[in-house]
Chain A
Amino acid sequence: GENVEQHPSTLSVQEGDSAVIKCTYSDSASNYFPWYKQELGKRPQLIIDIRSNVGEKKDQRIAVTLNKTAKHFSLHITETQPEDSAVYFCAASVGGFKTIFGAGTRLFVKA
């Protein structure tokens, strides 16, 4: 079945540094790749997404890249801040439904 692998499981960076989280997916039909942020005790919330007809998308300090040939996509956070500390999930889906999530990356930003 579909599978999404996410690395690393834990990431610790100094404030101001960049953070990169990588994901791979198995279903070549996947065409929608969202990233969610989940703060402790709260629900996941979308922070950025990318569709298969786009190779890169940027929103202020957050960017996502997609390599369809290799079936991997990455989240880049620049100029990290303490409020970026959270768990980040990548996901893949076909048409936006039956979304499969990665296991998550716990990001710590040290002030």
Chain B
Amino acid sequence: NAGVTQTPKFQVLKTGQSMTLQCAQDMNHEYMSWYRQDPGMGLRLIHYSVGAGITDQGEVPNGYNVSRSTTEDFPLRLLSAAPSQTSVYFCASSRGLRTTYNEQFFGPGTRLTVL
């Protein structure tokens, strides 16, 4: 199993550009989440999904969109990039409600810089 994969690893955008960060998992996990990590602020939840077709907002959703059309994929879209979105983005997945084993597995991260 590849686990949780993210692409790209690095990205530089200009203010106002849009892009999609890709996330995929091959563990048949129900739950998937997107976090951003800024120095001194830990991991902040952007959006999460409890299954295909179901998404919800986290702590810092503004400026980001998500969709979950399949169990495996959970892309994060930046609609109009701003310098405040410069961060490291992590995708994570976990099994789901029907299990008590709720460990989140993280992808390797995408380092995004917005100029």
Which residues of A are at the interface with B, using a C-beta cutoff of 8 A? 1, 6, 9, 32, 34, 43-46, 49, 51, 89, 91, 93, 95-104
Contact = CB atoms under 8 A, between A and B. Distances in A.
Interface stretch (B13-21, B36-44, B76-84): B36-44
A46 B104 contact: yes
Contacts of A46: 103-104
Contacts of A103: 40-42
B102 A96 contact: yes
Chain B interface SS verdict (over half): loop
B108 A44 contact: no
Chain A interface SS verdict (over half): strand
B24 interface: no
Q: Report the interface size class on chain B.
A: 20 to 34
B94 interface: yes
Nearest to A105: B42
Contacts of B42: 6, 89, 101-104
Interface of B: 31, 33, 35, 40-45, 48, 50, 56, 58-59, 90, 94-97, 100, 102-104, 106-109
Contacts of A45: 106
Contacts of A9: 40
Contacts of B40: 9, 103-104
Nearest 8 A-B pairs (CB), nearest first? A96-B102, A43-B106, A103-B42, A101-B43, A104-B42, A101-B42, A46-B103, A97-B31
Contacts of A34: 102-104
Contacts of A100: 45, 59
A34 B56 CA distance: 21
Contacts of B31: 96-97
A6 B30 CA distance: 28
A54 to B, nearest CB: 11
5 contacts: A9-B40, A34-B103, A49-B102, A96-B96, A101-B45
A72 B98 CA distance: 26
Contacts of A97: 31, 33, 48, 50, 94, 96-97, 102
